[in-house]
């Protein structure tokens, strides 16, 4: 049986219009106990994801737990990307059990959901597995998540993958939304986010542009 290839993207690849992003509990009290990822890297990755979603106009839900009484404010790296957007504060550890969050999920009406936040084993496992049970396609940005130990994070990621959650990384999320450097309308947006938030890749972009005037997608 022969198969004919076509220059079209796979159905499981994300596009800006086909999903919603849910960012959970990027708060001081949750970050203090996070040991699976360095706090500065966690903040950078959360900022990268937030700016990617905001720049590509992906609908986003920002939710906190016990913000005023215990867990503290959400990271500026997240909230500054969505100026004026309300934070949905919860009492439940599982975001999916909060009625206000679910009203927003239903209002946005996307069947594909992407999650990131703290902690992986509780506040990400809970809603991802719950959303899967209700028929949603679910992704988790694992390097924008963290937990109280590397093992807690790793076991949580394994559990999600076994259930059917699709893992990805922060920079992968940004580049998957762009996906073709010929998309000139978002070229500067993507490289601009990468330069500031993309770690060594961003340093490389700055170097290439400064030294050679190079750009992604150009042909030699």
Q: What is the DSSP string of 161-193?
A: HHHTPEEE-HHHHHHHHH--TT-GGGHHHHHHH
* Cα–Cα nearest to 63, from 39, 34, 30, 38: 30
Q: How many CB atoms lie within 10 A of CB 31?
A: 20
Q: What pLDDT score does 79 carry?
A: 97
Q: Phi/psi of residue 194, each to 5°?
A: -65, -40
pLDDT of residue 185: 96
Beta pairing, strands 60-65 & 112-117: unpaired
Q: Which residues contact 79 (CB under 8 A, 6 or more apart)?
A: 62, 73, 85, 87
Distance CA 192, CA 206 (A): 9
Q: What is the pLDDT of residue 176?
A: 98
pLDDT score recorded for residue 220: 46
pTM of the model: 0.93
Q: Which of 190, 188, 165 is nearest to 176 (CA)?
A: 190
φ and ψ at residue 38, rounded to 5 degrees: -65, 140
Tens-binned pLDDT, residue by residue, of the chain (220 aa) = 899 999 999 999 999 999 999 999 999 999 999 999 999 999 999 999 999 999 999 999 999 997 676 788 999 999 999 999 999 999 999 999 999 999 999 999 999 999 999 999 999 999 999 999 999 999 999 999 999 999 999 999 999 999 999 999 999 999 999 999 999 999 999 999 999 998 888 888 877 777 777 666 655 4
Give me the numbers of helices (H) and strands (E) for the chain, helices first please. Answer: 9, 6
4-46 pLDDT, tens digit each = 999 999 999 999 999 999 999 999 999 999 999 999 999 999 9
Domains along the chain with CATH numbers: 20-175 (3.40.50.850), 183-212 (no CATH)
Rg (CA), the chain: 18
Cα-Cα-Cα-Cα dihedral of 151, 152, 154, 160, to 10°?
150
| CA distances in angstroms from 121 to 52, 117, 141, 214, listed in the order given | 25, 10, 13, 42
Q: Does residue 201 contact residue 175 with C-beta atoms inside 8 Å? A: no
């Amino acid at each position: 049986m022969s198969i004919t290839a076509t220059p079209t993207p796979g159905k499981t690849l994300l596009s800006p219009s086909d999903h919603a992003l849910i960012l959970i509990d990027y708060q001081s009290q949750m970050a203090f106990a996070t040991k699976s990822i360095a706090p500065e890297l966690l903040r950078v990755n959360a900022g990268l994801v937030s700016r990617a979603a905001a720049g590509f106009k992906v609908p986003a839900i920002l939710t906190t737990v016990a913000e005023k009484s215990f867990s503290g404010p959400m990271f500026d790296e997240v909230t500054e990307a969505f100026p004026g957007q309300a934070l949905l504060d919860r009492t439940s550890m599982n975001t999916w059990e909060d009625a206000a969050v679910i009203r927003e999920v239903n209002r946005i009406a996307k069947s594909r959901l992407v999650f990131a936040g703290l902690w992986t084993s509780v506040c990400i496992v809970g809603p991802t597995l719950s959303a899967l049970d209700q028929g949603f396609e679910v992704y988790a940005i694992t390097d924008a998540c963290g937990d109280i130990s590397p093992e807690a994070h790793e076991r949580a990621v394994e559990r999600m993958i076994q259930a059917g959650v699709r893992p990805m990384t922060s920079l992968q999320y940004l580049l998957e939304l762009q996906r073709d450097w010929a998309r000139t309308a978002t070229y500067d947006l993507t490289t601009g986010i990468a330069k500031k938030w993309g770690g060594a890749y961003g340093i490389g972009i700055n170097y290439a542009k400064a030294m050679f005037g190079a750009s992604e997608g150009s042909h030699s």
